[in-house]
Amino acid sequence: MHCPHILVTVLSSCAQVGESSRVTFLGNTRLGQDVSLSALLANYHAVLCTYGAAEDRLLGIPGESLAGVVSARDLVSLYNGAPDSNLSLAASSLDTDTVAIVGMGNVALDVARLILAPVNVLRKTDVSDTWLEMRAKSRVKRVVVIGRRGPLNVSFTIKELREMIKLPAVQSVINPSDFEGVQGQLKSLERPRKRLTDLLLKTMGSDQGSQDEAWELKLWRSPVSVLGEERVTGLELRDTRDSDVTERLECGLVVRSVGYSSVRADPQLPWDDTKRVISNEDGRARGCPGLYTAGWLGTGPRGVIIDTMNTAFRVAASLVSDLGGQQLTERPGLEGLGEAVRAGATSWADWQRLDTEELRRGVAKDKARDKI
């Protein structure tokens, strides 16, 4: 589920670009498979790769391959109605009373919220029908978000925490024993971290009554193994403050939410195998003139949308300045890519038809958009 305001802004900027007579949109075209990097570089003065991070990081613990261990990415794809969604997960994932989410970033909170948000609220958004059906049948009562460090190192941000706390009829459970000594450190924190920690402390101390459903923040715990024979029955956790202390959390679904990573779509891309990004300096690919990168493919999977946009604006400025400093000789552009590439592509007009149809179906169902 996207933030409606940002989605509208992104879609309207996207439409402005797509409708420009100087832009040709070729969708459904995979770098490294339908078109090679060398073909693009031979036909254009500049190539900018911004295809993001399509894989998720693993925990590397025993039991991780059991049924019932899923990546946050898989669930995000399901609720966003992505074409590559793993629909086999839809049947059983929420058929349990407890879900454990490992990692405490914004993706973890987004997934927790989408599991617990009331179905009648979700129905008004662009969440997929598959997710709405999953939620309608869901037996989940408790979602536990697990972080290996303490309160001052949570990676989620205040806006996402607020949305979690505001969920109607869902209790927020924050354990005082995880917050020892934090009150005394508040004054020395930078403002955003202080506000976030204040909100956690305030929520911890608030009387929310007892509710049927809850989300719990479990800090200072690292997963040691996933328990179960064929399917997950629980998670063994170790206290990161005292490695002799372990505990078992019974749960029927474990969601891995420990970050994303990018893939090297074309063997010619200069690649940083440690960071799993295109090797680059401020967006200029190393050792490959004319090649640029922006977004998570260049920076790694961090930052909220505004950070990604700001980096992208800087890369665009570098690209324009580099081109301005060169004597440009004619390049064939689209014509040089060959008929096969053009014939298999989705055009901008195709995209507009999809957009119009999704909005039309959305009106019929009284929701923002009904994704195809």
**Which spans of this chain sit near ligand NAP (rule: CB under 6 A)?**
59, 102-108, 110, 147-149, 153, 155, 160, 222, 257-260, 301-305
Q: Is 43 exposed, middle or buried (0-12, 13-18, 19+ CB in 10 A)?
A: middle
Residue with Cβ nearer ligand NAP (42 or 152): 152
Residue 223 CB, nearest approach to ligand NAP (Å): 6
Residue with Cβ nearer ligand NAP (140 or 235): 235
The two beta strands, 253-256 and 69-71, are: parallel
- Residue 243, both tokens: 């490695």
Residue 132 CB, nearest approach to ligand NAP (Å): 20
Please name every residue paired with 285 in a beta bridge, in sequence order, or none if there are none: 280
- Contact in structure between 99 and 144 (CB atoms under 8 Å): yes
Phi, psi of 99 (to 5 degrees): -115, 130
Residue 356 CB, nearest approach to ligand NAP (Å): 27
- Contact in structure between 93 and 75 (CB atoms under 8 Å): yes
Residue 155 CB, nearest approach to ligand NAP (Å): 4
Residue with Cβ nearer ligand NAP (283 or 290): 283
Residue 85 CB, nearest approach to ligand NAP (Å): 17
Distance in angstroms (rounded) separating the CA atoms of residues 61 and 146: 15
Q: How many CB atoms lie under 10 A from the CB of residue 286? A: 12
User: Which residue, among 90, 108, 356, 79, has the nearest Cα to 219 in the 3D structure?
Assistant: 108
Residue with Cβ nearer ligand NAP (69 or 291): 69
Q: Of all residues in this chain, which one has the CB nearest to ligand NAP in the complex?
A: 105
Residue with Cβ nearer ligand NAP (63 or 103): 103
Residue with Cβ nearer ligand NAP (266 or 272): 272
Distance in angstroms (rounded) separating the CA atoms of residues 108 and 100: 10
Residue 161 CB, nearest approach to ligand NAP (Å): 11
3-state DSSP assignment of residue 273: coil
